[in-house]
């Protein structure tokens, strides 16, 4: 249920997770169009002829592929997520983001079975967008007036996450609709202290961004108008810029390349993690269902472009 091409040990790793067919899909006779030849590969069925001539089956390769039967624990163990957390504890800045169409399992993967930049921890301010500014002093981008919470224990962190998730749904009738049109970032700063000689402590601060991206289907189709259309265009752009930054970063190992962080708010915020010596993990989430085949192919292409294996 898990196959890998190579251990997820590079700075940028791309894994794919395929969710199971849902009860509803099974009931409506939808079937799976993805197969798993092994070695981190995903094979998507061809589309039979028709006026547009159909499509041949397509084969893609990634660091690791998680088949529908893989559990949350499997993803934690084998996606490289553990290494990402270890590196953050050592003081590196890391990012894990989930990409995919609405309903493909992004939130499930990041937060687990049902159990967040408007500022979700400061709902008083929550209805107005926060500014992303450049700090000369810190030489990095930051969110102005963002609420932060000190956590001593793991439970404190979970409480913060839960509050953020609750606030995310406030004022919205349909949470899935909201989450499909917004990026959610949980940014965890980790300070660790290690005793050193002479009774002093060496303190290190690392960071992990957990990013639940807006539904990628917005990049193409939207029947919406007005504000929603504007939102869709922003999402469209930020996902495109993110993909472009990641693939430029992969290329920049071979030759110096300009990375266009400044082209979207999202990439400004992730710039220090993406550019640093930390690890970036992209989890591309897909549905196996035939009815989603074109979105699935889009996601697999986006993920393959992010890192050519």
Residue ranges of the alpha helices (H) in the chain? 23-27, 72-78, 81-89, 106-111, 154-169, 175-179, 226-252, 265-275, 293-306
Q: Is residue 298 at the binding interface for ligand ADP, with CB under 6 A as the rule?
A: no
Please tell me whether residue 216 binds Mg ion under the rule CB under 5 A: no
**Which residue's CB is nearer to Mg ion, number 106 or number 183?**
106
CB of 204 to Mg ion, least distance (A): 32
Site string for Mg ion, 104-143 (x = CB under 5 A): --xx------------------------------------
Among 6, 11, 20, 294, binds ligand ADP (CB under 6 A): 20
Q: Which does 168 bind (CB under 5 to 8 A by kind): Mg ion, ligand ADP, none?
A: none
Q: Could you say which of 25, 44, 85, 108 contacts ligand ADP (CB under 6 A)?
A: 108
| From 47-55, 104-112, 164-172, 271-279, span contacting ligand ADP (CB under 6 A) | 104-112
Q: Quote the CA–CA distance of 69 and 283 in Å, as a whole number.
A: 16
103 touching ligand ADP, by CB under 6 A: yes
Cβ of residue 136: shortest distance to ligand ADP, in angstroms? 37
| DSSP classification of residue 262 | G
264 binds, among Mg ion, ligand ADP, none (CB under 5 to 8 A by kind): none
In the list ligand ADP, Mg ion, none, the entry touching 95 (Cβ below 5 to 8 angstroms by class) is: none
Nearer Cβ to ligand ADP (19/207): 19
104 counts as binding ligand ADP under rule CB under 6 A: yes
Q: Which residue of this chain has its Cβ atom nearest to Mg ion in the complex?
A: 107
d(CA 298, CA 93): 29
The least CB distance from residue 272 to ligand ADP, in Å, is 26
Pairing of strands 93-99, 184-195: unpaired
| Rounded distance between C-alpha atoms, residue 32 and residue 36, angstroms | 11
Q: Shortest approach of ligand ADP to residue 301 CB, angstroms?
A: 17
Non-local (6+) Cβ contacts of 127 within 8 A are: 118
Name residues whose C-beta falls within 8 Å of residue 145's C-beta, 6 or more positions apart in sequence.
119, 125, 130, 131
- Contact with Mg ion (CB under 5 A) among 13, 179, 264, 287: 179
Q: Which residue in the block uniquely carries the two structure tokens 């591309």?
A: 284
Q: Is 164 in the site for ligand ADP (CB under 6 A)?
A: no
Q: Residue holding tokens 């897909």?
A: 286
Q: Which residues have a Cβ under 8 Å from the Cβ of 286 and sit 6 or more positions away? A: 16, 17, 18, 19, 34, 42, 100, 101, 104, 292, 295, 296, 299, 300
Q: Is residue 288 within the footprint of ligand ADP (CB under 6 A)? A: no
* 22 to 27, 31, 118: CA distances (angstroms): 9, 10, 31
């Amino acid at each position: 249920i898990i196959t890998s091409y190579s251990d997820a040990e590079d700075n940028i790793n791309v894994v794919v997770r395929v969710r199971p067919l849902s009860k509803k899909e099974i009931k409506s006779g939808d079937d799976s169009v993805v197969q798993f030849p092994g070695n981190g590969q995903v094979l998507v069925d061809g589309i039979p002829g028709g006026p547009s001539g159909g499509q041949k089956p397509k084969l893609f390769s990634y660091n690791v592929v998680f088949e529908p039967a893989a559990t949350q624990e499997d993803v934690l163990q084998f996606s490289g997520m553990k290494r990402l957390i270890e590196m953050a504890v050592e003081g590196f800045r890391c990012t894990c983001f989930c990409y995919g169409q609405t309903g493909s399992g992004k939130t499930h993967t990041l937060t687990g079975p049902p159990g967040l930049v408007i500022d979700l921890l400061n709902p008083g301010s929550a209805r107005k967008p926060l500014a992303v500014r450049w700090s000369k002093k810190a030489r990095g981008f930051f969110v102005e007036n963002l609420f932060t919470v000190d956590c001593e224990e793991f439970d404190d962190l979970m409480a913060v996450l839960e509050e953020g998730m609750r606030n995310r749904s406030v004022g919205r009738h349909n949470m899935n609709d909201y989450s499909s049109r917004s990026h959610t970032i949980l940014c965890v700063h980790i300070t660790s202290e290690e005793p050193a000689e002479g009774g002093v402590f060496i303190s290190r601060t690392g960071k992990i961004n957990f990013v639940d991206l807006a539904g990628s289907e917005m990049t193409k189709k939207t029947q919406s108008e007005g504000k929603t259309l504007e939102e869709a265009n922003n999402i469209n752009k930020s996902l495109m810029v993110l993909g472009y930054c990641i693939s430029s970063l992969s290329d920049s190992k071979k030759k110096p390349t300009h990375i266009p962080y400044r082209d979207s708010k999202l990439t400004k915020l992730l710039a220090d993690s993406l550019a640093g010596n930390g690890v970036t993990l992209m989890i591309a989430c897909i549905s196996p269902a035939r009815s989603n085949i074109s979105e699935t192919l889009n996601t697999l292409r986006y993920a393959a472009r992010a890192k050519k294996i």
